[in-house]
Amino acid sequence: MVKTRREVLTALGGLLMVGDALAQKHMGGHSMGQNMPTSKEVIPPKPIPWGTGTCAFCGMPIATPEGQWRGRTFPKGFFEQTYSQIGFKEPQPAPHNPQERVDALHFESIACMVNYAFVHGLQDGEGATFYVTDRGSYDPKDPQGSARLIPARRATFYWGEKMMAVMNAKLMAFAGPAQAKAFAESHPEHGRQRFYTFQTLLDFAPLPETNLVALLAQHAGLLGEEAHHH
């Protein structure tokens, strides 16, 4: 069910009150645990529009731009590591253009996908399958060609306190706990580290990320299109 304005405003109010404490509360003290049941219908993922795709939540390109983008130069493959997708069983209205129908929504951050679903009431396994990129298959020499989509419900999610990730969400996905643990052990510089199931991320929504309050408000119809830009 799509969130009402009251529900989104309640979420916004909580974010404004707790500020940085939100990440501490949401991202502490949980283990890998059991992922969501895998018996739900799996809709095949759709092709990734690397050349033209933009994030349905924040508007950023899903592929790392060449050269500078909004005053910053990103390492090759930086955006591709956290690409996420919601694939639909039946075409759905496109964001900001209900006249257009799309078979998938594309996101350049795991948090963007979860937060979009939070506002718009999308449910994994109900006419849609949520996908994330397996960071374990990432090849820096071929970021786009090595991108492997896995159902989010089966993935293990890694959070690193000091990890640099798109939208400062500090999240990456792995095919299983062993891969996530190996990544954590090889990156002690990330400081505090946590592992999560997809269900836990959904329970935590909205997830902390850059410009979150404005983006939630914009998608709830409380702000204009300019809130898409940051």
Query: Do 138 and 146 contact (CB within 8 A), yes or no?
Result: yes
Domain count, the chain: 1
Best CA proximity match to 181, nearest among 48, 31, 44 = 31
Residues 12, 210, 174, 23, Cα dihedral to 10°: -50
Per-residue pLDDT of 190-208, as tens digits, reads 999 999 999 999 999 999 9
Please report the pLDDT score of residue 69 as a whole number: 85
Per-residue pLDDT of 118-147, as tens digits, reads 999 999 999 999 999 999 999 999 999 999
Give the pLDDT mean for 79-107. 94
95: confidence class by pLDDT, cuts 50, 70, 90? confident
Query: Do 159 and 127 contact (CB within 8 A), yes or no?
Result: no
Q: What is the mean pLDDT of the chain?
A: 86
Beta bridge partners of 160: 193
Query: Do 11 and 206 contact (CB within 8 A), yes or no?
Result: yes
pLDDT for 223 beyond 90: no
For residue 179, give its domain range: 5-228
CA distance 148 to 157: 15
Please report the pLDDT score of residue 119 as a whole number: 95
Per-residue pLDDT of 6-56, as tens digits, reads 665 565 554 443 333 334 444 444 556 555 555 688 999 999 999 999 999
pTM comes to 0.84
- Residues 6+ away with beta carbon under 8 Å from 198: 35, 36, 124, 130, 152, 153, 154, 155, 157
Query: Do 62 and 108 contact (CB within 8 A), yes or no?
Result: yes
